[in-house]
Amino acid sequence: MTDHLTTALRRLPTPRCAYLYDTTTLRTRTAQLRAATPPRTTLLYAVKANGHPDVIHTLATECDGLEVASGGELTLAIQAGARRIVFGGPAKTDTELAAATTAGALLNVESPHELRRLAALGITADICLRINRTGTPLTGSHTMTGTPTPFGIDENQLPHVLADIPEGLRVIGFHLHAVSNNLDGAAHARFLTDAIDWSTRTAHTHDIPLRIVNAGGGLGIDYLTGNPIDLTPLSTVTVPDHLELILEPGRYLTADAGWYATEVLDLKTTHGRTFAILRGGTHHFRLPAAWGYSHPFTVIPIDDWPHPYPRLTIYDTPVDAVGELCTPRDVLTRNQHVTHLRTGDLLLYPRAGAYGWDISHHDFLRHEPPTFITL
């Protein structure tokens, strides 16, 4: 794989800076997840993880459809020819609600106020309710249920909400997205089983014709080691005959399908610390700064040096890999040991395909964007 990437990178003009997305990895990842999930599971790729048109197009084909959370993502999903679309998010506008309904998307409704707005728009539809459950059976980086959040309807308020569903709207399922970056496959399987059990019980109590249990996304990626989450426990989940289990993976499908590569523009040691200064940084790849971890890289040596001035080289040194922004927070990696690094070499960051470019503050300092290469 690295050969493939290196060849593509060498073709770029210097200073080199690029995102590379590999559609074969997207397909493999989807196939692995599909093989691990029980019958009657539907996979909808969560577009917010990576909205690159080639990524969306590939996953619209490989998955059963797409999960979107804005009018912009809805437009991308329609353009990609998604067979099914689910539309969620706590702050949908009237325009978005109308556009999603026109597109035939299934809505995850997040508040009683949103129900009344739908009714006022004259929308008649089968819908799911997003619930913020009382307990949270999962651990991960962003817990969204069992705790105060803007997402969904508090489980305690559900009886009142269900007693007052406006005319024309019919609740057929629950949306229970709970966590991000869970690395424990057995815990995720327990979460899915619990989501199905809770939904079945709740539907029975309130006489709801339950068809859908949407357990959202949250399957994780170990950024430091790259060790994959063990998906085998997912096959132990039983989805009853009359139900559909929807999963909305984002990170799991795209993280490993993307690399961020950036050229070392300068090397310097100040106050005892060595910095590799990059043609790029957190305005392209914000995830390490946003989450406060150090993202490991590999060095791609570039042997040509066409310049009249000497090439800077360091040996056997820990380096901080920092970006081109004028802020000390523009750090991708802290203290990674390199055996040999020169100006003009590239640092390659794997696992950059999810929440990489898409969550970054591209216009801060107005540097050139990276090149985007789809393999």
Ligand X SMILES: *Cc1c(COP(=O)(O)O)cnc(C)c1O
Task: Give the residue numbers marked as catalytic.
Answer: 326
Site for ligand X in 26-65 (CB under 6 A): 46, 48-49
Instruction: Examine residue 195 and tell whether it contacts ligand X (CB under 6 A).
Output: no
- CB of 89: closest distance to ligand X in angstroms? 7
Q: Which residue is nearest to ligand X (CB)?
A: 217
CB of 99 to ligand X, least distance (A): 18
For residue 179 the two structure tokens come to 């966590």
Nearest approach, Cβ of 317 to ligand X (angstroms)?
35
Q: Which of 173, 249, 288, 353 binds ligand X (CB under 6 A)?
A: 249
- 96 is a site residue for ligand X (CB under 6 A): no
Count, residues near ligand X per rule CB under 6 A = 16
Residue 250 binds ligand X (CB under 6 A): yes
Using the rule CB under 6 A, is 258 a contact of ligand X? no
HSE, CB side, 13 Å, CA atoms: give it for residue 266: 7
All residues at 6 or more sequence positions from 292 whose CB lies less than 8 Å from its CB, including other chains? none
Pick the closer one to ligand X by CB: 177 or 295.
177
Going 339 to 276 to 294 to 179, the CA torsion angle's sign is: negative
| 131 is a site residue for ligand X (CB under 6 A) | no
Contacts with 102 (C-beta within 8 Å, 6 or more apart), sequence order:
none
The b-or-e profile of 177-200 (16+ CB within 10 A means b, else e) is: bbbbbbbbbebbbbbbbbbbebbb
User: Toward ligand X, which CB reaches closer, 218 or 296?
Assistant: 218
Q: The dihedral of CA 286, 287, 292, 295: what is its sign?
A: negative
Among 22, 67, 114, 345, binds ligand X (CB under 6 A): 67
Token pair 């066409």: residue: 306
Pair type for strands 346-349 and 298-300: antiparallel
* Terminal CA-CA length for the chain: 10
**Segment near ligand X (CB under 6 A), from 158-166, 185-193, 213-221, 313-321?**
213-221
Question: Which segment (152-160, 244-252, 281-289, 307-315) binds ligand X by CB under 6 A?
Answer: 244-252
Hey, is 122 helix, strand or coil? coil
Residues of this chain that bind ligand X (CB under 6 A): 46, 48-49, 67, 88, 177, 180, 216-219, 248-252
